[in-house]
Amino acid sequence: MSAAAILLRGRIIGAPDGEIADGVVEIEGERITRVRDARDYPDAGPVPAPTDSIILPGLIDLHCHGGAGAGFPNADAAGARIAAAHHRAHGSTGLLGSLVSAPPADLLRQASVLADLVEDGDLLGVHLEGPFLNSVRCGAQDPASIIPGDPRLLERICDAARDTVRSMTLAPETPRFGELLTVLRERGILSSLGHTDADAATTSARIADAAGGRLTATHLFNAMPPLHHRAPGPVAACLAAAGRGDMVVELIADGVHLAAETVRMVFDTVGADQIALVSDAMAAAGISDGAYRLGPLDVTVSRGVARLTTGDGSEGAIAGGTASLLDVVRYTVFEAGVDLGEAVVSATRTPARMLGLEGERGALAPGCRADVVVTGADLRPRRVLVAGADVAGWVR
């Protein structure tokens, strides 16, 4: 062990062989070098005193629209960096910058803006949430910006993003779905089904079309028909696919988008390896209530809940989240009653696998990049490290 090594001691979640009640994570440079029970460390020299800390792999958010006052669909590069830094300081050591349906010129511009952040290491990639969705289930997306599937436009956006697009949400029923899927496969982009009014049969057929590739469901239950015993819709098709291991389903477990019992039901039904917890955070994440933008639409945040602004003051559609991914993990554990280790898998190992980052991120294992979150028993951050370096702004 070098003199410059960092030693972290506490309850370790995400080690190769499971939880370690009192363990030590050793970091040298940008990598984790050892993860061991504290009792096995005398041969390695002095170790830190016992703590009540919990040590987690850095969280990975597959679906995030912004934070700290800046939204990826609207911000310039400086604003986008502020949003990324906010989530990084709260434990999301890797995240995709999510765009929403917008006019093609806006998508091309923002794809290029976010590509700079990907190339600089501030984001893991770009997530396109639209524009090839179903306007009947647009949620907080601009229905005027939703268009039929257009493979040529998709190619242009990917080119503008300089091949940093890593994920795309599209409706199973959008025209030219097969051609879009071909483009996504050729470019190594994760396909995600969502914002859909499709029935179960159509959804299942599209899942079969994507067989053999990586596939997710964008915020399961939200922006799709509810599950009904005679009209099971896309929810049933996606749950069945996740149960078979053919799909990973996103859950926004923030206490707004889903009931705690729903979150627990999905974990009990398909298991943590087939679930990706996401924040779906927008610009208001981490700051005060008020007026914001989500792409071309106005959003009002009241009591921490973001909704589309309406002209008559009525309640608009939920417009993204205001929580961090660590907040989502905390809700999943303390409100939904999911085991901590399972919740952490769904916020680390599963999304890492979906992005092809196994062995690099998503686990506390020798050789992995030293992306680490240290929390208290309340799962609130005490320290965040990215590639072995402390993140500015982490909470003491």
Query: The domain that contains 380 carries what CATH number?
Result: 2.30.40.10
Q: Is residue 395, in this structure, part of any structural domain at all?
A: no
Asked whether residue 340 falls in the same domain as residue 368, the answer is no
Give the single-character DSSP code of 248. E
> Mean pLDDT of residues grouped by 10 in the chain (396 residues)?
83 94 96 93 76 98 97 97 97 98 98 98 98 96 97 98 98 98 97 98 96 94 97 98 98 97 98 98 94 92 92 88 97 98 98 97 97 98 97 57
Asked whether residue 133 falls in the same domain as residue 19, the answer is no
Distances (CA, A) of 11 to 91, 93, 262, 364, 368: 17, 20, 28, 12, 18
Q: Is residue 240, in this structure, part of any structural domain at all?
A: yes
**Residue 378: what residue type?**
D
Q: Which pLDDT score, from 0 to 100, does residue 1 have? A: 60
Asked whether residue 280 falls in the same domain as residue 351, the answer is yes
Q: Is residue 396, in this structure, part of any structural domain at all?
A: no
**Residue 176: what residue type?**
R
Q: Which pLDDT score, from 0 to 100, does residue 2 have? A: 63
Asked whether residue 228 falls in the same domain as residue 249, the answer is yes
Q: Which pLDDT score, from 0 to 100, does residue 21 have? A: 97
Is 264 part of any known ligand binding site? no
Is 63 part of any known ligand binding site? no
Q: Is residue 350, in this structure, part of any structural domain at all?
A: yes
Q: Which of 122, 142, 246, 280 is catalytic?
A: 280
Q: Is residue 234, in this structure, part of any structural domain at all?
A: yes
Q: Which pLDDT score, from 0 to 100, does residue 99 have? A: 98
Catalytic site residue 280?
Answer: yes
Is 283 part of any known ligand binding site? no
Distances (CA, A) of 256 to 7, 134, 267, 324, 396: 38, 23, 18, 13, 28
Instruction: List 94's β-bridge partners, or say none.
Output: 60
- Residue 226 burial (CB count, 10 A): 9
Compute the distance between CA of residue 10 and CA of residue 55 in angstroms, rounded to an integer: 6
Q: Which residue has the tokens 């300089």?
A: 162
Which structural domain, as residue segments, surrounds residue 328? 59-355
What is the reported pTM? 0.96
- Residue 103 sits in a domain whose CATH number is 3.20.20.140
Asked whether residue 177 falls in the same domain as residue 284, the answer is yes
Q: Is residue 259, in this structure, part of any structural domain at all?
A: yes
Q: Hey, what are 212's tokens?
A: 């053999």
Q: Is residue 24, in this structure, part of any structural domain at all?
A: yes
Asked whether residue 17 falls in the same domain as residue 47, the answer is yes
The total number of structural domains in the chain stands at 2
Which residues lie closer than 8 Å to 165 by C-beta, 6 or more apart? 111, 125, 126, 127, 128, 157, 158, 187, 189
Q: Which pLDDT score, from 0 to 100, does residue 375 have? A: 98
